[in-house]
Structure 1
Amino acid sequence: MEEFVPIQQKELLALLSTGVREDGRKFDEYRKVEIQTSIYEKANGSAMVKIGNTVAVAGVKAELGEPFPDTPNEGVLTVSLELLPHASPSFEPGPPDENAVEMSRIVDRGLRESKAIKTSELCVLPGKKVWVIYVDIYAMDHDGNIVDASGIAALAALLTAKIPEVKVEGEDVVLLESTKGIPMVERPVPVTVAKIGDYLVVDPSLSEENVADVRVTMTTLESGIVSSIQKSGSGTLEEPDVLKIYDLAYEKGKEIRSLLAKLG
């Protein structure tokens, strides 16, 4: 592997120097994004996202539980991501490894720091009962950029999820048959950019990820605000790189948001 990666990087750099990526895309071109929702009837919300051959599935489960002591009047959001062994030879069975933990944190931070959910509206009995929203994400096929696929799947599942209306009778909470949506006030979209040599490419393929010097996932809001940013890799970024990454994240985020707007 130590000999293979430099050879592959050299070949990719030679191709990038001509202005073309290995799959024919432009540097700022995303693969086709497909979003399908309501794929699991037993979940409160669910979605499957395909970015090229990369596939991620997200399920939302809502349960009544206790709030955190420091936020007694707010609901709780919990995000987890599992890299299924069949998705890639590099994914091994067992407890989440560092990659899974890092990816889960990126998605979680993008949702949490953006305050995408108005958690105060998830409070049922202050200090006693709130909605706990679990978002479980599964990487089904990994052909690069599983983070963006996971983040978009989580967002799509949350946007289309339904939770029961409730009736409070004293200290008792009764779940009604009628439902309502999760109070989403932002749509944070993660966009990943890889730096290979001096070239920045959006939505890196698996082979591009394998030879990238740096990989950055930037989550932006519709307003252009950056809600989170995560860098991995030992390479460096200059100021023009960061500005270009922001431009890519913002523009591609708008494109993906337009797809999410069609979900209804």
Structure 2
Amino acid sequence: MENLRWRPTVNERDFIERALQSDLRVDGRHSFDFRKLKITFGREDGSSEVQLGETHVLSYVTAQLVQPYRDRPNEGTLAIFTEFSPMADPAFEPGRPGESAIELGRVIDRGLRESRAVDMESLCVVAGKHVWSVRVDLHILDNGGNLIDAANIAALAALSTFRRPECTVGGDDGQQVIVHDPEVRDPLPLTIHHMPIAVTFAYFGEGNIVVVDPTYKEEAIMGGRMTATINSNGDICSIQKAGGEGVMSSVVMQCLRIASVKAADITSKIRKAVDSYTTEKALKKVKRLPVLLPQKINVTDVTMEDKDGAELEMETLKTPDDVQQISKDMASTGKASSHEDAQPMLTESSNAEVKGTSSSGAAGESEEAQEIGSPKSLKDAIKPKHKRKKKSVKR
């Protein structure tokens, strides 16, 4: 519904054109400056969200096993689908895609698929029977101008983080495909050779004024538009001139040089965002054990009595080092006391042995030695001596 699209007034048109002639833009940028780019990722692999100024695009990548085309039995497929919601712009119609949605899908598909950015042969499982079909869904959440560049960046970011399930071929005939769960085997990333970045230029004043990344209001009054898809190496993947006034070849070459510089800058931002996302996700998978911290040991006050009756008090122990120090002190004092107690016991036993040897005599009979060495009872001390019986004398 073109009648619902925003139309600038005459004064607004004159103000924007005069500002562009003075190398100024409504939002404060210069002619060849991009708006602020923000790339975020979802919880699942293959989902990304891009904000380019006021433009908001969501991308989601899925894959499934299908039969390949007959002319390319060893290659997978890549398809781009767009969805324009009326919430993003009142000019978008719900349901069937309009001309703008078809144009957006074709420009991005030409830059990604025809430039062979994604390795299609790596998506083949069984030649002629099973290949992976990758689908990229682009949802326009807010139309702030330059949908092509924002959607292209969202598609590249989603493809960079997408992981397809790993599968093996087995069975009796060797043609049966087994798809493994992510818990059994880690999914595999896509093989991306390069990143084709789309850079859109808008022309004003019969092609004399050129700006990069036009806004919603600038697109309403521009005379023409050109989208150049270039990778960081400077290779031109595709060029599209969407109607409007003609442009000189010198202006086109200038735009290509500018697009090459912008493509290298945007590629570095995408790779930096993807690397940070991959690192953060890898750290979440690592199982971390709890760190063993030293615990405080609290011991109550204990009162001990020495042999002499002196009281010994133990202070409350607060740290494990205090416990070890006191245990060492107690061990050392215990050894000393046991050594002192052992000395008088040794002297007494030695004296007893000397006495036993002297009383036994030189012969040293074993029985007498045992009697002397063994302790005597009270009966043995008071036992009377044997008296001889007096013989009676007969008279």
Same fold per TM (> 0.5)?
A: yes
| Contact 1:122–1:130 (CA under 8 A) maintained in structure 2 | yes
Distance in 2, matches of 1:204 and 1:133, equals: 31
* Corresponding residue for residue 256 of structure 2: 246
1:236/1:8 Cα in 2 relative to 1: closer, same or farther (>3 Å)?
farther
Does the alignment pair 1:217 with 2:217? Answer: no
| Contact 1:80–1:136 (CA under 8 A) maintained in structure 2 | yes
Q: Secondary structure at the match of 1:243?
A: helix
* Corresponding residue for residue 188 of structure 1: 196
Does the alignment pair 1:261 with 2:271? Answer: yes
Does the alignment pair 1:138 with 2:139? Answer: yes
Q: Secondary structure at the match of 1:85?
A: coil
- State which drifts further: 52-61 or 232-241: 232-241
Q: Secondary structure at the match of 1:223?
A: coil
Deviation at 1:233, TM superposition (A): 3.1
Per-residue CA distance 1:76-124 (angstroms, 9 max, x = gap) = 0011111111001211212000110001100111101210111001000
| Contact 1:135–1:154 (CA under 8 A) maintained in structure 2 | yes
CA RMSD of superposed structures (Å): 1.5
Distance in 2, matches of 1:161 and 1:93, equals: 28
* Corresponding residue for residue 129 of structure 1: 130
| Contact 2:74–2:121 (CA under 8 A) maintained in structure 1 | yes
Selected match of 2:218 from 203, 208, 212:
208
> When you count helix as a share of all residues, which structure comes out higher?
2
Deviation at 1:8, TM superposition (A): 3.4
Deviation at 1:223, TM superposition (A): 1.7
Letter in 2 for 1:87: A
1:6/1:71 Cα in 2 relative to 1: closer, same or farther (>3 Å)?
farther
Q: Secondary structure at the match of 2:125?
A: strand
Runs of 4 or more consecutive aligned structure 1 residues displaced over 6 Å after TM superposition: none
Selected match of 1:11 from 9, 15, 19:
15
Which one has more relative contact order, counting CA pairs under 8 Å at least 6 apart? 1
Deviation at 1:24, TM superposition (A): 0.6
The runs of 5 or more residues in structure 2 that have no matched partner are 276-395
Name which one, 1 or 2, has greater alpha-carbon Rg.
2
Distance in 2, matches of 1:150 and 1:181, equals: 21
Deviation at 1:5, TM superposition (A): 5.7
The runs of 5 or more residues in structure 1 that have no matched partner are none
> When you count strand as a share of all residues, which structure comes out higher?
1
Letter in 2 for 1:149: A
Deviation at 1:25, TM superposition (A): 0.1
* Corresponding residue for residue 31 of structure 1: 35
Distance in 2, matches of 1:251 and 1:147, equals: 18
Alignment coverage as a number of residue pairs: 261
Letter in 2 for 1:119: M
Distance in 1, matches of 2:168 and 2:192, equals: 21
| TM-score normalised per structure 2 | 0.64
* Corresponding residue for residue 110 of structure 2: 109
Does the alignment pair 1:160 with 2:132? Answer: no
Percent identity, aligned pairs only, is 38
Letter in 1 for 2:75: E
| TM-score normalised per structure 1 | 0.95
- State which drifts further: 4-13 or 210-219: 4-13
Distance in 2, matches of 1:3 and 1:54, equals: 18
Letter in 2 for 1:188: P
Q: Secondary structure at the match of 2:166?
A: strand
| Contact 2:66–2:130 (CA under 8 A) maintained in structure 1 | yes
1:111/1:64 Cα in 2 relative to 1: closer, same or farther (>3 Å)?
same
